[in-house]
């Protein structure tokens, strides 16, 4: 079991972890689902969390029983349309969408000289971080264009550690989606799941919401995990 003292870096998802931009993504996908005559549900929205653009489109089409109705070129066109919708929604983005406590947490770990990288499947993540005035705290960002596999494959989190020149076991990964937690676990990093612990039960550490995510609480949770293993 990794001890907190071994941690040197933090690898973040963006949507639903740092900021509530997931609502913007959901709204843009909802608009496209309506156009494709696929009924939008909360369950469908949850399935799309943390998933890349083309994979999300394929999930929507499968959900509506339309996975064989469109050519690859048509799918690319629809994915681009969704992105256009999302970018229009982003125009109104400001610091108010930063989730409770996350701005302070990111600044705190930077002040304590931890390395920080972003492992978001969103190609628009640099623009979002700049609008939120958080880009200055991130040492590196995984470019999703370079990835061969989407979450839950661990590639994006493995890369998130590599670009910091750290081993996965030296990093903590933070996620709000099941696919993301699986990706962190597969990479060998310590996983923090933010949200309903019943849904994110595979995470090493669970917090109900972002306001609970502090350096002190992560240390406390990792210490308890180490103590628990030591007494087994």
Q: Is 180 annotated as a binding residue?
A: no
Q: How many angstroms separate the CA atoms of 97 and 232, rounded?
A: 42
Q: How many angstroms separate the CA atoms of 89 and 204, rounded?
A: 34
Q: Which of 15, 37, 43, 223 is catalytic?
A: 15
Q: Which of 13, 43, 69, 196 is catalytic?
A: 13
Q: Is 121 annotated as a binding residue?
A: yes
Beta carbons within 10 angstroms of residue 75's beta carbon: 16
Q: Is 70 left (phi over 0), alpha (psi -120 to 50) or beta?
A: beta
Q: Partners of 194 in the beta sheet?
A: 207
State yes or no: is 69 an active-site residue: no
Q: Is 14 annotated as a binding residue?
A: yes
C-alpha 143, offset from chain centre: 14
Q: Is 160 annotated as a binding residue?
A: no
Q: Is 29 annotated as a binding residue?
A: yes
Q: Is 51 annotated as a binding residue?
A: yes
Q: Is 56 annotated as a binding residue?
A: yes
Crossing angle between the packed helical segments 155-162 and 178-187, to the nearest 10 degrees: 50
Q: Is 13 annotated as a binding residue?
A: yes
State yes or no: is 13 an active-site residue: yes
Annotated binding residues for Mg(2+) = 13, 15, 175-176
Annotated binding residues = 13-15, 29, 48-53, 56, 82, 120-124, 151, 175-176
Annotated binding residues for substrate = 13-15, 29, 48-53, 56, 82, 120-124, 151
Residues labelled as active-site residues: 13, 15
């Amino acid at each position: 079991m990794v001890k907190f003292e071994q941690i040197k870096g933090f690898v973040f998802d963006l949507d639903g972890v740092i900021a509530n931009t997931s609502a913007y993504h959901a709204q843009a996908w909802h608009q496209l689902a309506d156009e494709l005559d696929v009924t939008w549900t909360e369950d469908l929205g949850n399935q799309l969390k943390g998933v890349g653009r083309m994979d999300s489109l394929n999930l929507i089409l499968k959900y509506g029983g339309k996975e064989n109705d469109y050519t690859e070129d048509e799918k690319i066109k629809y994915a681009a349309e969704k992105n256009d919708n999302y970018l229009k929604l982003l125009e109104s983005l400001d610091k108010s969408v930063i989730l409770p406590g996350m701005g302070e947490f990111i600044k705190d770990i930077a002040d304590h000289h931890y390395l920080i990288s972003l492992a978001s499947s969103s190609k628009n993540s640099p623009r979002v971080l700049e609008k939120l005035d958080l880009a200055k705290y991130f040492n590196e960002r995984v470019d999703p264009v370079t990835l061969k596999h989407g979450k839950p494959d661990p590639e994006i989190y493995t890369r998130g550690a590599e670009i910091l020149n750290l081993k996965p076991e030296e990093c903590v990964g933070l996620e709000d989606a099941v696919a993301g937690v699986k990706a962190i676990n597969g990479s060998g990093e310590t996983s923090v799941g933010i949200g309903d612990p019943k849904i994110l039960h595979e995470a090493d550490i669970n917090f109900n919401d972002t306001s609970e995510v502090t350096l002190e609480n992560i240390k406390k949770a990792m210490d308890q995990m180490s103590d628990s293993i030591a007494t087994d």
